[in-house]
Amino acid sequence: MENQADRMLRANQKVTETAGISLKKRVRPGEFIIQGFLFFAGAFSILTTLGILYALGKEAMLFFSSPEVNLVEFFTGTRWQPQALQFGILPLAIATLITTLIAMLVAIPLGLFVAIYLSEFASPGLRNLLKPVLEVLAGIPTVVYGYFALTFMTPLLRSVFGRDVVDIYNTASAGLVMGILILPLITSMAEDALSAVPRSLREAAYSLGATRLETAIQVVMPAAISGLAAAFIIGISRAVGETMIVAIAAGAGPNLTLNPFKGAETMTGHIVRISGGDLSYDSIDYNSVFAIGLMLFFLTFTLNIISRAFVQRFREVYE
């Protein structure tokens, strides 16, 4: 006995037979090729990372395996002079540390405060005015900041602290300007984190009689802490990797000093100075620069992964 479904099926079959259409799935080679290309595009990024690891790693391995280089000395030695076969990374690492520290001292408090202001206190109109200002700050190329450091910040520091205290190339001026560079980055990430906290938490706090400040500091901030931590870590990573500001304003030549008013070269500044000259093929100088690059890569990669882990955590809590 035919039911309606069977009748419809028969009708369809008749229609398709008459029209000559096959309803079988058509093989489309074009789709295949395109899918292949898209997969390649996606996987290309893996190639990039592999490329970085290979390019840096190969030369760095050559460096570390050469007889003049001693791993302990590399990490603890206090002089970096490839010509004299001294390969202690401390002067460069400490200079990087000092500039990063100064940059964070500027960027973290200011960035956080601005983020709190924007997300908790500012009116929408003010927020729409201020966000583009911060975007502009973030979009300015770093070489411009380097110029600013050399032509404005250094003379300023010299007039405030005295010309004999502050050298013409110094890490303080580079660090301060780096802080200005990183400020918008921290602000935008921190603001995202603070805004992601649901209104319900704030409203609960208000209903208990808390002032706006108390809500912001004691309720919202702790709730967003992983996002804030992520922002700070990204800021640190950016400061470590920053090149042009230190190349222009911080000094040339590895110099082991804790005094921020003296010139010193950071890891990134050293790489730029040496490659601006030339990198002799397969000499120990060449390989040493790649060793520094590898250190830098691992450092920033690790910081970024930690930061991302934090962001994942805070996202999960509210979604």
Partner 1 sequence: MYRKLRFSFAVLMSLTLLLSACAGTETTVEPQASQPTQASEVEEEPEVLGDTGGLPDVDPASVSGNVLIAGSSTVYPLTERMVERFIEEGYSGQITVDSVGSGAGLERFCVAGETDIAAASRGIEEEEIANCANIGRTPIEFRVGTDALAIAVSTENDFLTGVTLEQLAQIFSSDAVLWSDVNPEWPTEDILRFSPGTDSGTYDYFVEAVMMPVYGEEGDAAESAILNSENIQFSEDDNVLVQGVQGSPYAIGYFGYAYYIENEGTLKALAVDDVVPNEESAESGDYPLARPLFLYSDAQIMQSKPQVADFLNFYLTYVNDEILSVGYFPASDAAIEEAKQAWLTNNQ
Partner 2 sequence: MIRPQNTYDRESESRGLSPLFDENLPTRHKISTVWRFIFRLSTIIAVIFLALLLYNITNQAFGYVAIENRVDPASLAVNEIPIEEMEKDVLIALLRENISSGLMRQLEREKPLSEHTRDEVYALVIEKVVRPEAVRTWLLTESLFQRNEIRAQMAQEYPQAELTFKSWLSPQFLKVPQSSEALHAGIRTAILGSLWTVGITILVAFPLGVGAAIYLEEYAGNSWTNRVIQTNINNLAGVPSIIYGMLGLAIFVRSLETFTSGAALGFSDPTTANGRTILSAGLTLTLLVLPLIIINSQEAIRAVPGSLRQASYGVGATRWQTVWHHVLPSALPGILTGTILSISRAIGETAPLVVVGAATFIAFDPDSPFSKFTTLPIQIYQWTSRPQAEFRNLAAAAILALLVLLLSMNAIAILLRNRFHRQGGN
CA 130 to chain centre: 23
Residue 185: partners with Cβ closer than 8 Å, 6 or more residues away: 107, 111, 138, 231, 234, 235, 238
The interface region with partner 2, picked from 24-32, 78-86, 188-196, 219-227 by CB under 8 A, is 24-32
Of 200-229, binders to partner 2 (CB under 8 A) are 209-214, 217
Of 86, 195, 259, 304, the one binding partner 2 (CB under 8 A) is 304
| Residue 51 in contact with partner 2, rule: CB under 8 A | yes
Residue 151: CB atoms within 10 Å: 12
Of 255-274, binders to partner 1 (CB under 8 A) are 255, 262-263, 273
* Spatial separation of the C-alpha atoms in residues 199 and 194, rounded to whole Å: 10
Q: Token pair 């500012």 is at which residue?
A: 122
* Spatial separation of the C-alpha atoms in residues 257 and 278, rounded to whole Å: 27
Nearer to partner 2, 13 or 49 (CB): 49
The interface region with partner 1, picked from 48-56, 125-133, 202-210, 303-311 by CB under 8 A, is 125-133
The candidate with the shortest Cα–Cα distance to 246, out of 158, 139, 162, 154, is: 154
Of 45, 65, 200, 207, the one binding partner 2 (CB under 8 A) is 45
Number of residues that bind partner 1 (CB under 8 A): 30
| Residues 240-279 as x/- pattern, contact with partner 2 by CB under 8 A | xxxxx--xx-------------------x--xx--xx--x
> Least distance to partner 2 from the beta carbon of 261, Å?
20
Q: 283-304 burial, b if ≥16 CB within 10 A, otherwise e? A: ebebbbbbbbbbbbbebbeebe
C-alpha pair distances (Å), 237 with each of 182, 193, 307? 10, 18, 10
DSSP letter string, 28-78: -HHHHHHHHHHHHHHHHHHHHHHHHHHHHHHHHHHHHHSTT--HHHHHH-S
Nearer to partner 1, 104 or 250 (CB): 250
Nearer to partner 1, 192 or 285 (CB): 285
| Residue 196 in contact with partner 2, rule: CB under 8 A | no
Of 91, 146, 227, 254, the one binding partner 2 (CB under 8 A) is 146
> Least distance to partner 2 from the beta carbon of 76, Å?
24
241 binds, among partner 2, partner 1, none (CB under 5 to 8 A by kind): partner 2
252 binds, among partner 2, partner 1, none (CB under 5 to 8 A by kind): partner 1
Q: For 254, phi and psi rounded to 5 degrees?
A: -60, 125
39 binds, among partner 1, partner 2, none (CB under 5 to 8 A by kind): partner 2
Any long-range contacts for 85-89 (C-beta under 8 Å, 24+ apart)? 85/284, 87/288, 89/267, 89/292, 89/295
| Residue 95 in contact with partner 1, rule: CB under 8 A | no
Q: Interface residues with partner 1 (CB under 8 A)? A: 79, 81-84, 86, 125, 128-129, 131-133, 136, 163-164, 167-169, 251-253, 255, 262-263, 273, 276-278, 280-281
